[in-house]
Amino acid sequence: MNRKDFVRTSGLATAGLMLGTVTNVFAKDDRPKVRIGLIGVGARGIGHLDLLMRRDDVDLVAICEVEPRALENAKNYIAKNNKKMPLIFSESNDAWKKMYEINGGLDAVVIATPWELHTPMILGALKAGIKYVGTEVVLGITLQDHWDVVRAAEKYNAHVMMLENVCYRRDVMAVLNMVRQGLFGELIHLQGGYQHDLREVKFNDGIHTYGHGVEFGEKGYSEAHWRTNHSVTRNGDLYPTHGIGPIAHYININRGNRFTSLCSFSSKSRGLHNHIVKLGGPNHPNASVKFKLGDVVTTSINCANGETILLQHDTDLPRPYTLGFRVQGTEGLWMDVANSIYIQDKSNNNDQWDVARQWLDKYDHPLWARWSKETAGAGHGGMDFFVIHALVESIKNKVATPMDVYDAAAWSAITPLSEQSIANGNKTVEFPDFTDGKWAERKPVFALTDAF
Ligand SMILES: NC(=O)c1ccc[n+]([C@@H]2O[C@H](COP(=O)([O-])OP(=O)(O)OC[C@H]3O[C@@H](n4cnc5c(N)ncnc54)[C@H](O)[C@@H]3O)[C@@H](O)[C@H]2O)c1
């Protein structure tokens, strides 16, 4: 399934696609509405706009977008749904700075822009006094970016939540429920990754969001405009968080456990070049581009409590989508690619896989049991609802977000660390402790109830 199909089947409405009519899902209570500003209404941000607009407890007071087509798409969507038009900031690449100074202030900002803009936009928000930031994956580019965000969140006593939606995938959460109830025993080894054919995301014709050409950079549109360049200049696990986020919750990373070291390997690079030649011919100017990113990047991580993790980044070759989860303990395991679960002495037959569905339904997480109606129409099979829900409810309840800046930093820092490991001949590198030792005392908080 390519990204376009994935996006369609998962119900995510993206730029250029028609969004449905908004049905508001939250009755207003006595608390003031949460004032939110949104930066970036491209393929991802338009989905966040939709989710924010559905809520009666949110006032989307401003949006910032510099690309006329994406902005027009967002405005049309708002008008079509008879919603109040937010203030628009679009005059320059720095317009977001003005948005942060808006009259009446912002309770939160949601950032859905290219990766390289996340760190400056987060730091700017914290300095401007905004107490909650919801940022799309990833947190930053360099290791220093991650430290800067952690230190700024501490200094300004603010909450930075990475909007890592896969943590809320229904099967992922059912497995979290099973882990917490001890079904798999003591966890030993975990796998995951980002295994998604992105060739039609990384290249397009500058008009369509997906495919129809082999342009990128200045001539590309949406992610082809900025993401593909990372594949030209960098080699590492460029997108670790969809895999590592759920895994980190399973083994309480930063909350009694932590990543201690990492080692990455990269294969040769063929997929992107072959795609260009196949669609654009050997004489297309992009056929001479050298891509630094290996087609399959494999990373091993050690944990303080003795678990091992294997992560894979695999976005440039033909392949059906799967995040490749494996959660294995002393009593059994789940593997998402085979949709299978085996629990010693409890599975239907000894040494044979059960179809995972029967277990996942039985252990459906209370969050999904409570909110599944509200997830209807939200992107990626409904899981996108939960990241916005968690951010908004944390603000309303004046509490920390269930995924915090230490989680964001530890998950996202895998990218620069894996680049470092590969550049140094697969050297094992130490994992920084962004919590400064607090990991040992911190307690799990993610999805403990059905609230958010
Ligand atoms: N969690 C998920 O499932 C998921 C899915 C897709 C994308 N993403 C993430 O979302 C982010 C955005 O990706 P996308 O697919 O929407 O890319 P996109 O290119 O379609 O959208 C990014 C938007 O940011 C705008 N922008 C760029 N510079 C700006 C600036 N200075 N001020 C204001 N706006 C600016 C662009 O014009 C564009 O419309 C990325 O971090 C990506 O990794 C996450």
- The answer to whether residues 153 and 130 touch, using CB atoms and an 8 Å cutoff, is no
The set of protein residues with a Cβ atom below 6 angstroms from ligand 1 is 15, 39-40, 42-45, 64-67, 70, 93, 96, 112-115, 117, 136-137, 165, 222-223, 225, 380
191 and 213 share one domain: yes
Q: Tokens 């549109």 identify what position?
A: 221
Expressed in angstroms and rounded, the spacing between residue 6 Cα and the centre of ligand 1 is 18
CA of 379, closest atom in ligand 1: 3
Q: Please indicate, yes or no, if residue 36 is contained in any of the structural domains.
A: yes
Q: Please indicate, yes or no, if residue 446 is contained in any of the structural domains.
A: no
CA of 138, closest atom in ligand 1: 41
In terms of C-beta density within 10 A (0-12 exposed, 13-18 middle, 19 or more buried), how is residue 81 classed?
A: middle
Q: Please choose, from the candidates 33, 35, 99, 32, the residue with its C-alpha nearest in 3D space to the C-alpha of residue 64.
A: 99
Measured by CA distance, the residue closest to atom 37 of ligand 1 is 67
pLDDT of residue 30: 74
SS (H, E, C) the chain: CCHHHHHHHCCCCCCCCCCCCCCCCCCCCCCCCEEEEEECCCCCHHHHHHHHHHCCCEEEEEEECCCHHHHHHHHHHHHHCCCCCCEEECCCCCHHHHHHCCCCCCCEEEECCCHHHHHHHHHHHHHCCCCEEEECCCCCCCHHHHHHHHHHHHHCCCEEEECCHHHHCHHHHHHHHHHHCCCCCCEEEEEEEEECCCHHHHCECCCCCCECCCECHHHCCCHHHHHHHHHHHCCCCCCCHHHHHHHHHHCCECCCECEEEEEEEECCCCHHHHHHHHHHCCCCHHHHCCCCCCCEEEEEEEECCCCEEEEEEECCCCCCCECCCEEEECCEEEECCCCEEEECCCCCCCCCCEEHHHHHHHCCCHHHHHHCCCCCCCCHHHHHHHHHHHHHHHHHCCCCCCCCHHHHHHHHCHHHHHHHHHHCCCCCEECCCCCCCHHHCCCCCCCCCCCC
| Boundary (domain end) residue, out of 143, 165, 187 | 165
Give the tokens for residue 181: 């109830």
Which residues lie below 8 Å from residue 89, measured CB to CB, with a gap of 6+? 62, 63, 64, 65, 95, 96, 98, 99
Expressed in angstroms and rounded, the spacing between residue 112 Cα and the centre of ligand 1 is 4
Expressed in angstroms and rounded, the spacing between residue 442 Cα and the centre of ligand 1 is 32
Expressed in angstroms and rounded, the spacing between residue 47 Cα and the centre of ligand 1 is 11
| Total structural domains within the chain | 2
pLDDT of residue 277: 98
CA of 225, closest atom in ligand 1: 19
Ligand 1, residues 77, 136, 216, 230: which to mutate, most atoms within 8 A of Cβ? 136
Expressed in angstroms and rounded, the spacing between residue 414 Cα and the centre of ligand 1 is 20
pLDDT of residue 31: 79
290 and 417 share one domain: yes
Expressed in angstroms and rounded, the spacing between residue 67 Cα and the centre of ligand 1 is 11
129 and 187 share one domain: no
160 and 233 share one domain: no
171 and 102 share one domain: no
Expressed in angstroms and rounded, the spacing between residue 44 Cα and the centre of ligand 1 is 6
192 and 68 share one domain: no
159 and 222 share one domain: no
Ligand 1, residues 9, 12, 44, 111: which to mutate, most atoms within 8 A of Cβ? 44
237 and 119 share one domain: no
Domain that holds residue 319: 167-365+405-440
Its pTM stands at: 0.94
Greatest CA separation for the chain: 65
Expressed in angstroms and rounded, the spacing between residue 215 Cα and the centre of ligand 1 is 18
94 and 200 share one domain: no
In terms of C-beta density within 10 A (0-12 exposed, 13-18 middle, 19 or more buried), how is residue 267 classed?
A: middle
Q: Please indicate, yes or no, if residue 427 is contained in any of the structural domains.
A: yes
Measured by CA distance, the residue closest to atom 21 of ligand 1 is 42
The strand order across the sheet containing 332-335 reads 354-355, 340-343, 332-335, 326-329, 187-195, 308-314, 296-303, 259-266, 429-430
| Boundary (domain end) residue, out of 111, 140, 165 | 165
pLDDT of residue 368: 97
Please report, for the domain that includes residue 291, its CATH number: 3.30.360.10
pLDDT of residue 19: 44
CA of 96, closest atom in ligand 1: 32
Q: Please indicate, yes or no, if residue 289 is contained in any of the structural domains.
A: yes
CA of 15, closest atom in ligand 1: 20
- The parts of the chain modelled with pLDDT lower than 50 are 1-20
Please report, for the domain that includes residue 89, its CATH number: 3.40.50.720
Q: Please choose, from the candidates 293, 277, 297, 294, the residue with its C-alpha nearest in 3D space to the C-alpha of residue 285.
A: 277
